[in-house]
Every structure is written in C-alpha cells, then in structure tokens.
Amino acid sequence: MRVVVQRVSQASVEIDGRTVGRIKTGILLLVGIEKGDGEKEIEFMADKILNLRIFADKEGKMNLSVQEIRGEILSVSQFTLASRIKKGRRPDFSNAEDPKKAEALYSSFNVLLAKFVPVAPGEFGAMMDVHLVNNGPVTIILEKTAAELERKK
C-alpha cells in the first residue's frame, strides 16, 4: 500500500465538473492499493496517518496530528501509485490490486479513518480532478507491504 499524504489548507475533488468531496484544513490522501494488501496494511496506514505529526503547534513546530487540530481528510483512490518503471518509459501497473478487492479495501480504509476524523472520499475508479492548496508545502509518502508487516512479528 502506498499513500501520498499532503497537508492542505483546502482540497476538493470533482468528477465531470461536480464536486464530490471537499475539505478545509487537513490532509489530502492519494491512496494506492497493491496486490497482497489487506486489513493489516489498512489498519497500519490509518493509524500512521491519524497520528502523523505534520501540523504546527504554538511554537510553529510540526508536532500535531490531524486529530489534534480537528482537521479533515480528503481520500482519493489512485491505482497509479502501484506502478513500477523498471525499464523503458511506460509504467507497469501489474502490481495494482484487482479493482473489486481494491475498492473494498479503499472503502474499509475510509470507514476506519472516519471513526476519528471527518473523511470526504473521491469516487473509486472515476476520472477525477483534484484541487488542493498544499500547505507548507508538506508532502509525505508512506509505504507498507504485507511482507514488511510479517517481518515485524
């Protein structure tokens, strides 16, 4: 699972000119589900994102989480994050999870996040226009595989 985390002062996602999700201060997530991902990866990522200290405290240091600032999350599925470019110039998307399984995992991920902060999801599999004001800019890439989680046991 790969997730691009962007701290934003506002973000929205549109499909065919219709806004389907909008947030103010918080986090924009670009979410890539890869083959082999499951509930363990979803739970790991949700915990990491909800507790990631990327918002400024009173001293201006990145010391607060999205929960602590009472921020929001805009979650956008992005299967292209599962791509690899080993040779040539065309991305290989064979590491992306089967769409039906990926959609179920993406939905579970959003439900889990929404237990703690407001979540506005994009639409799985749709062609979307994402608008954001990246605050900072702060952009973090998180990655976790099933194999890595197994090694931790």
Considering only CA atoms, which of 13, 33, 8 is closest in space to residue 83?
33
Find the catalytic residue in 55, 79, 109, 124: 79
Task: Kindly state the tokens that stand for 152.
Answer: 């931790």
78, 124, 139, 145: which is the annotated catalytic residue? 78
State yes or no: is 116 an active-site residue: no
Residue with tokens 């001293």: 59
Cβ–Cβ under 8 Å, residues 27 and 77: no
Residue 54 contacts residue 5 (beta carbons within 8 Å): yes
Q: Tell me whether residue 55 is one of the annotated catalytic residues.
A: no
Q: Chain centroid to CA 58: how far?
A: 27
78 part of the active site:
yes
Q: How far is CA 124 from the centre of its chain?
A: 13
Whether the Cβ atoms of residue 41 and residue 145 lie closer than 8 Å to each other: yes
Catalytic residues: 78-80
